[in-house]
Structure 1
Amino acid sequence: MSITPYITVNDARAAIDWYRNAFGARVSYEPIVMDDGRIGHVELTIGDDARFMMSDEFDSAGVAAPDPARHNSVALHVETTAVDVVVRQAKTVGAQIDREPEDTPNGRIAVLHDPFGHRWMFNQRPDDPK
């Protein structure tokens, strides 16, 4: 059994580009473009196996991007061997850094928001070299 996040954004084409530039994501399942031009489905992969799915907002499907006036109810947690590098790169393309990289008993962590309203938590295990 596994779980794969499926996020919704208000501009999937811009989000694909942003995730490429911020996290080195690559499209692993080509976008399905709907008749009205919105992206109905796309899959991205970060690193070797961190996969997530995404679509534009669709009232008819009951999916909406995060509301910037509210706090997030879900965060995306990503294990990495380079928290500082990921955060530095994401910051250069417009991420809001909520928690700069810091060492904790559970490893090096950082938290950020992407421009589409999603909260990302990055964790580097304590035994990974910095």
Structure 2
Amino acid sequence: MSELTPYICVNDSRAAIDWYRDVLGAELTVEPIVMDDGAVGHCELSVGGARWMMSDAFASADVAPPDPRRGACVTLHLGVDDVDLVAARVVASGQTLARGPEDTPGVGRVAVFRDPFGHRWFLNQPLPAAG
């Protein structure tokens, strides 16, 4: 079996955990492993079974968060039950939607945003079958 799990880096894992819980409804599935310097070396979160790993920056391992002055090189695609609800929480948290919520034929209901930690997210909800 193959599996691809994103491993993202942020400037403040503790704040990111709170934001992802409050806004995306994430569950912390692996408690933070805290390094000697106080940085979070590893934790894991999930939304509806879709999981990702996360850490703070580590210069010694050449791991850094996204540079907000540049475009995103990766987009995290997250299937949710209610794009409008999650998008409303994103906006209420102070973030701006880059797209949507809108219906896209063949794709579903979508919204796109960048979280406060620099990561670009694509929310997707299947549209009801026509008929």
TM-score (norm 2): 0.93
Whole-Å separation in 2 of the counterparts to 1:68 and 1:95: 14
**Contiguous gaps of at least 5 residues in structure 1:** none
Is 2:87 the counterpart of 1:87? yes
Identity of aligned residues (%): 56
Look up the equivalent residue of 1:93 and give its one-letter code: S
Corresponding residue for residue 103 of structure 2: 103
Local SS of the residue matching 2:37? coil
TM-score (norm 1): 0.94
Local SS of the residue matching 2:81? coil
Aligned residues: 127
User: Runs of at least 4 residues of structure 1 off by over 2 A?
Assistant: none
What is the CA-CA distance between 1:95 and the residue it aligns to?
2.2
Whole-Å separation in 1 of the counterparts to 2:36 and 2:73: 31
Whole-Å separation in 2 of the counterparts to 1:41 and 1:95: 25
Look up the equivalent residue of 2:57 and give its one-letter code: E
Whole-Å separation in 1 of the counterparts to 2:96 and 2:32: 27
CA shift digits 1:35-67 (9 cap, x unpaired): 0000000000112x0101000000111110000
Corresponding residue for residue 119 of structure 1: 120
TM-align CA RMSD: 1.0
Matched-pair contact (CA < 8 Å) for 1:21–1:90: no
Local SS of the residue matching 2:54? strand
Whole-Å separation in 2 of the counterparts to 1:62 and 1:84: 37
Matched-pair contact (CA < 8 Å) for 1:7–1:52: yes
Alignment of 1:1-130 (within 5 A): 1-47=2-48, 49-105=49-105, 106-127=107-128
Matched-pair contact (CA < 8 Å) for 1:94–1:114: no
What is the CA-CA distance between 1:126 and the residue it aligns to?
1.7
